[in-house]
Structure 1
Amino acid sequence: MHVNRKPRRRHSEEFKARVMAACSVPGASVAAVAQSFGVNDNLVHQWRRGRGFSVDSRVAAAPALATACAPDFVALAMPATLPAPAELPPAPAAPVHVEKIQLELKRGTLAVSVAWPLSAAADCATWLRELLR
């Protein structure tokens, strides 16, 4: 017979809403958020899937989520006047970019560099497969 030493914790809807708000911050890791709140990440994943977290709580948490995710307003100083277009330096010409597959192969003292057009990727794969047999 197994005896639980710790009783099962019950978390308030407000606590769950705070955890969910922290998880919705861009770049936030569910595991890191769970650890910072002292809960298991599997539990947080369940809350995110809707288990153990009522829809009413999600609706109530929406303003907190919006506040947590809203970027701060940043005022920028703008110059009083902009230079005339003739005063601006000419824009550099855009380089012509051809998409290609670039291969560099070394076998012993032999070194080969091959540029293959991306439009013929299947042919390149066939050639490479035969070469490496």
Structure 2
Amino acid sequence: MDVNSKQRRRHSAEFKAQVLAACAEPGASVAVVALSFQLNDNLVHQWRRGRGASPVPSAMSTTVAESAPQFIALSLPPLPPPSAPAIVAVAAVAAEEIRLEFKRGAIGVSVM
């Protein structure tokens, strides 16, 4: 008796691109999109990460590039003028606090 009697479905590149385009819509949920296309949401997540999807030139490639993280410039207070003694400059910089916070979902990390 064969336990895995179901055959794996094969999806065309055009179908995958259509699913990924639906995921890229503002406010779209991967789970809802997967359900509407009768797919498992884990499969759609794999396609979004680039595993299992053949490269198809489409509007998705520009959407991914636009949503990529951007450089954010931080402004720091100016250092004391060079004529000030070095010990005072070091003390002024050491007294200031630099703090970085990273959050992803419910997880947060603070670096001081």
Gap regions ≥5 residues in structure 2: 64-112
Contact 1:30 1:45 in 2 (8 A): yes
Residue 64 (structure 2) pairs with residue 61 (structure 1):
no
Code of the residue aligned with 1:18 in structure 2: it is Q
Contact 1:21 1:65 in 2 (8 A): no
Determine the structure 2 residue equivalent to 1:35: 35
Max Rg structure: 1
Q: How many residue pairs are counted as aligned between the two chains?
A: 63
Distance in 1 of aligned mates of 2:60 and 2:30:
20
Determine the structure 2 residue equivalent to 1:21: 21
Code of the residue aligned with 1:8 in structure 2: it is R
Residue 6 (structure 2) pairs with residue 9 (structure 1):
no
TM superposition score normalised by structure 1: 0.43
Identity of aligned residues (%): 67
Gap regions ≥5 residues in structure 1: 67-133
Q: Deviation string for 1:30-71 (max 9, x for gaps)?
A: 00000000100000000000001123x1xx2227987xxxxx
Distance in 1 of aligned mates of 2:44 and 2:51:
9
Distance in 2 of aligned mates of 1:63 and 1:3:
38
Determine the structure 2 residue equivalent to 1:50: 50
Code of the residue aligned with 1:11 in structure 2: it is H
Q: Residue 14 of structure 1: CA displacement? A: 0.4
TM superposition score normalised by structure 2: 0.50
